[in-house]
Chain A
């Protein structure tokens, strides 16, 4: 993120540096730098850039792995089929819903957790260790855990919630199934959000908060007028990371509903077309669309981020 703006390492001064040796030295440094990053670049290209180009190429074919000899170029037909299919829009809609709901709730809970972690003195280690447990647990395991918790056969949620019947099937309808999936997702990723926010909180100067306190600002005023504006960058980074991550939601859906009851996300639809139904052409078209929508979301959030920064500057 901000790490793109790397300050240049000052070149150590050399006693006998004439113009020539200086530029030779710079050239050598340039070559060494490029050599050192080459393995990383090559690896990233093999696994992302090359397959992505291949996906664009495959997406213009009608290509099924069950009948590889019958593959033929069909142009934009896969895209037209996908974009005119209600299934595609349903999956996109539900994915946006997952993203907005989980990130919004995580932001609130994560901020509250960060505030507590920032102030806690006694038991700091225990809190920080515990908060890493959901972060570290395999998403599939957390999906199972919550699925069993919500299950009417062997779960405890129905028994604990007074306004819900003991035999209520959470996975029988779209809305409760989506709620259950969101809870699993929120449980797992809130810690990440709160740790990023905690780091942002640590950068807000205590003096300013004290000064606002002396001036008689209430707790809410201090939060809204001092703390939050000063950690805007951290908040935006956290939102960007989490939103892009949430848009790829897959594991929880796979485990909890396997896409039943209209809970399938766009990632899930793509996986199904490609791996389960062997429709490589159609799957590739969906891959490209998925990639483009992630780019669009990144663009929108970064755009929003800039606007906010400008506002912050005007206020200051």
Chain B
């Protein structure tokens, strides 16, 4: 009984921990601008300060935010797809084949996962300008791909190692061609792992800030986190808090949707790469 109460209290605390700040930013996104700048220490919008959908309408009318959201979606999706393809090839080789340099790949991936991102922006800034890809989509896609590879390779090779590859041969013995055996037996088994790696990669790309602010200068490629941080509004000394809150909520929605749908897979992916192995 005592233990049960303890767990219930624990669950409530976890839920408060996770959701209170989210409730706060949502509540802010519905307050009107005036009440926020004048000073309103209340948590929820009180009488007369409730702005309805006004802030959301303003965000969706704001060209800068719209472009940033488009950039973020495009860049993150392309980086995710490309990174997962490259990582799948590498992870397959690591899990199934014996070859020279295997350890090198894994230690390199480990080193990159630990790399302080900021220490690369100077040289990349310089290089990208020389190549003419500064402030373009590829200028962000390439760094995102390379920084998501380690996590994707670990997650995938952990998944691949648990696939019973003998089944492929068994199918061949039963008369399937090797392509059929691969497509009908291995692909369905590998798909969940590939999918998990894709979600984690997307999270990274969507969350990135350092590359986003250093390797872009205009709305041509600036992703949403960078755009949020640089948004000043009409009065540079008074950041439009409620507008920012609404934009932040909009930028968070894709993540929440992904989390709600794929909760189980994300947990498995996060822990398999790091702890099992």
Contacts and interface: CB of A to CB of B under 8 A. Distances in A.
B132 interface: no
Closest 5 CB pairs of A and B: A33-B99, A3-B277, A116-B10, A287-B119, A199-B271
B275 A30 contact: no
B256 A133 contact: yes
A288 B119 CA distance: 7
A158 interface: yes
Nearest to A199: B271
A187 interface: yes
A33 B98 contact: yes
Nearest to A121: B7
A40 B87 contact: yes
Interface in A265-289: 267-268, 270-271, 274-275, 280, 283-284, 286-288
A134 B11 contact: no
A239 B224 CA distance: 30
29 contacts: A4-B106, A6-B161, A12-B169, A30-B100, A36-B89, A36-B97, A37-B89, A47-B147, A48-B120, A50-B127, A120-B10, A136-B255, A139-B225, A141-B25, A141-B228, A145-B22, A154-B31, A156-B41, A159-B42, A159-B43, A166-B41, A237-B274, A250-B117, A250-B118, A270-B122, A271-B121, A274-B125, A280-B126, A287-B118
Interface string B20-42: 01101100100100011101111
B266 to A, nearest CB: 6
Interface string B105-141: 1111111101111111111111100000000000000
A82 interface: no
Contact of A248 (B15, B116, B267): B116
B260 interface: yes
Nearest to A292: B119
B89 to A, nearest CB: 4
Number of chain A interface residues as a range: 35 or more
A51 B86 contact: no
B143 interface: yes
A152 B241 CA distance: 13
Contact of A1 (B19, B94, B244, B277): B277
Chain A binding surface, main DSSP class = helix
A189 B92 CA distance: 30
A6 B146 CA distance: 22
B18 A130 contact: yes
Contacts, number: 334
Interface residues of B, number: 110
Chain B binding surface, main DSSP class = helix
B139 to A, nearest CB: 11
Nearest to A268: B118
Nearest to A282: B122
Contacts of A96: none
A292 to B, nearest CB: 9
Interface string A1-33: 111111111011000000000000010011111
Contacts of B270: 192, 195-196
Nearest to A194: B14
Given A116-B14, A145-B24, A154-B41, A41 B116 contact: no
B142 interface: yes
Interface in B146-174: 146-147, 149, 153-154, 157-158, 161, 165, 169
Contact of B92 (A36, A133, A152, A203): A36
B72 to A, nearest CB: 9
Contacts of B158: 3
Contacts of B97: 9, 29-30, 32-33, 36
Nearest to A31: B99
Interface stretch (A52-60, A173-181, A306-314): A52-60
Interface in B206-222: 206-207, 209-210, 213-214
B245 interface: yes
A237 B153 contact: no
B194 interface: no
B93 A138 contact: no
Nearest to B263: A129
B232 interface: no
Nearest to A244: B114
B251 interface: yes
B70 interface: no
Given A280-B126, A291-B116, A294-B116, A196 B7 contact: no
Given A52-B119, A132-B266, A154-B241, A37 B17 contact: no
A43 B86 contact: yes
B101 interface: yes
B248 interface: yes
B209 A251 contact: yes
A136 B258 contact: yes
Interface in A130-151: 130-142, 144-146, 148-149, 151
Contacts of A30: 97-100
Contacts of A205: none
Given A138-B206, A283-B122, 6 more contacts: A30-B97, A34-B99, A52-B120, A128-B263, A129-B259, A130-B14
